[in-house]
Structure formats: C-alpha cells, structure tokens
Amino acid sequence: MKIGFGLPHSGPSAGPEAIVLVAKRAEELGYDSIWVFDRFLYPEQPQSAYPGSPDGSLPANMKTMLDPLHTLSFVAAHTSRIALGTSVLVMGYRNPVLLAQSLTTIDVLSGGRLRVGLGQGWSKDEHDAAGVSMKDRAARGYEVIQVLKAMWGADPVEFQGQFFQIPKSIVEPKPVQKPHPPIYLAAYTPGAMKRVATVADGWMPTGVPIDAMAQMMEGIRGMAKEAGRDSSALKMIVRANVNVMPQSQGNQRPPFYGSLDEIRSDIQATKDIGADELFIDPVGSGVASVEDYMEVMEQMKDLVDGA
C-alpha cells in the first residue's frame, strides 16, 4: 500500500516556506504522493453543512486557502520523484477546457507525476459564487470528464455537449502520462459510484467506515465488469482525515480519529481491505504550524512502516 500526505496550503502556515519544507520532507521520508484540496470561500453563514465534521462546521484552518493547482505547479519545481495529487477538485468550479490545460501543464512540468481526484462538491455557497447550479452536478460532472479526456486525446479535438463545446482544434501539448493522468472520483451515491466504474481509473473514499469501503469497492468492481472493463485495474485511494488524540476514543470513533494505536489499527485495516494507497491529511485536526505538520507526517510514516 502506497502512502501520501496533504500539503499545508491552508491554514495560518500556508505559504511557500511551509509548502516546500513539507513537500521535500515527504519525499525524503519515502512518501509516494502529496495532495491538495479545493476550497475558495469560508462562508460566515453557510448554506451547506460541511460533511467532514460532526457539527457541520468548516475547520478554522480553511479560512486561509491557496489555489490547489498553482500550489502543485510550485511544488513540482521543488521535488523530483513524489506524485502530485488533487483530492479533490470540484468539477463545477472550473471550465473543463481550461482545467485540462492547467492539469496538462502540471503533468508536463512535473515529468508525468500528476494524479487527478475529482468530486461533485457539497457547498452551495461556492457553487453560487462560481455561477453554477448544484441541481445538475451529476450531468455536468460526467461531461467534465468527457471534456478532459477529449482534450487529452488525439488531435483534432472536438466536443459537443449539453454544457461544453470545443470546435475542431489542435490542442498541444498532451500530458506526459498516456493515455492521460489517472482520474479518481470521490463517490458515495449509486450513480456516482457507477461513474467510477465506467469512466474513472479509481475511487477516492473518505469518512466511510473501513469495512464499508471494502463493500462499496466490491460493488464498483462489479459494475465495472458489467460495463466490460477490467475491474482489477481500478484503484482505491483512501483519504484519511487524521486527528491524533492523547487518549483512546473507543469503538464509536470515526476512522483515523483517536490515539496513535487506534490510528495504527485503522491503517492496518485499510491495508487489509486491499487499498492501493492511503494518504493522510491533518488539516481538519487544527494543526497550525509547519512544525505540527512535520510531526504528524513523521508519526504517520512510522505507523505505516510498522503496520
């Protein structure tokens, strides 16, 4: 099982020094990947509850956010081996033609290290600010993937859809990775999981009980077989929103929330269900300084190596 870590591009320490320090240290420690996520508003009176916290509130660290794609471009210049991932970009926030160019640029500048995690999003405030409706997220999201693959495919590129159109055009360069950088989807509803099975390269769950992840992945693989795809080629990349506590939290705790021993058991359980990769993000736990990030990163690497 591969291991990744989230970059400090949110919170009070977000800045070039912290990002470079964490990225380089992750590479030195043998992490396989580093990741960014997507936020651009911190609403004072949110219309949507944040699904990652018990009371629906956004973590305070998300008040400060650097753009995820610019962050990865910056990190690409300061690293040489480690994969660069998004977990996740919200598909409604960007025109997919322009997104394809940005993602291609990162893949080219990094020498083929990009990995693309996409999701439908949950924030009505951000969708309103981006000028897109939440009602057609599913249909729009499916078309976003089609546009990305068209832009990354053979020239001339042409696409005619409900939401997006591309006139017959030459689009160069193409990504280093062929046929394109891997696309992973965050998905929890039957329709979204079917999209993983039919058009994506893997599934990116978070916040789901680990045994439920195994059952859901089995369902995705079954749908992939029905669609005539090689289900064994689909990857499962688990995002762990880790929160290290000084004491045991008991049986009712969320995954990756608890003592180091409890988190170690979650890591082992994730490995046991056949996850291809686990990446740790401490942003929701209130880490404020780059020293906090480094401490969690080294703790988690020790736990993974011991699992």
The two beta strands, 2-6 and 257-258, are unpaired
- pLDDT at residue 284 tops 90: no
Judge whether 46 and 123 are in contact, CB under 8 Å: yes
**Residue 137 is encoded by which pair of tokens?**
């997220």
The two beta strands, 165-169 and 157-160, are antiparallel
pLDDT 10s digits, 215-254? 999 999 999 999 999 999 999 999 999 999 999 998 889 9
pLDDT 10s digits, 176-226? 999 999 999 999 999 999 999 999 999 999 999 999 999 999 999 999 999
Judge whether 65 and 115 are in contact, CB under 8 Å: no
What is residue 93's DSSP assignment? G
Give the pLDDT confidence score for residue 150 in this predicted structure: 98
Strands (E), the chain: 2-6, 33-36, 83-90, 114-119, 157-160, 165-169, 183-185, 202-203, 235-241, 243-244, 257-258, 277-281
The total number of structural domains in the chain stands at 1
The CATH number of whichever domain residue 215 belongs to comes to 3.20.20.30
Largest CA distance in the chain: 60
pLDDT band at 295 (very low <50, low <70, confident <90, very high): very high
Q: Whole-model pTM?
A: 0.95
Judge whether 251 and 291 are in contact, CB under 8 Å: no
pLDDT 10s digits, 89-132? 999 999 999 999 999 999 999 999 999 999 999 999 999 999 99
Percent of the chain topping pLDDT 90: 89
- pLDDT at residue 29 tops 90: yes
Give residue 75's domain range.
2-306
User: What average pLDDT does this structure show over 144-152?
Assistant: 98
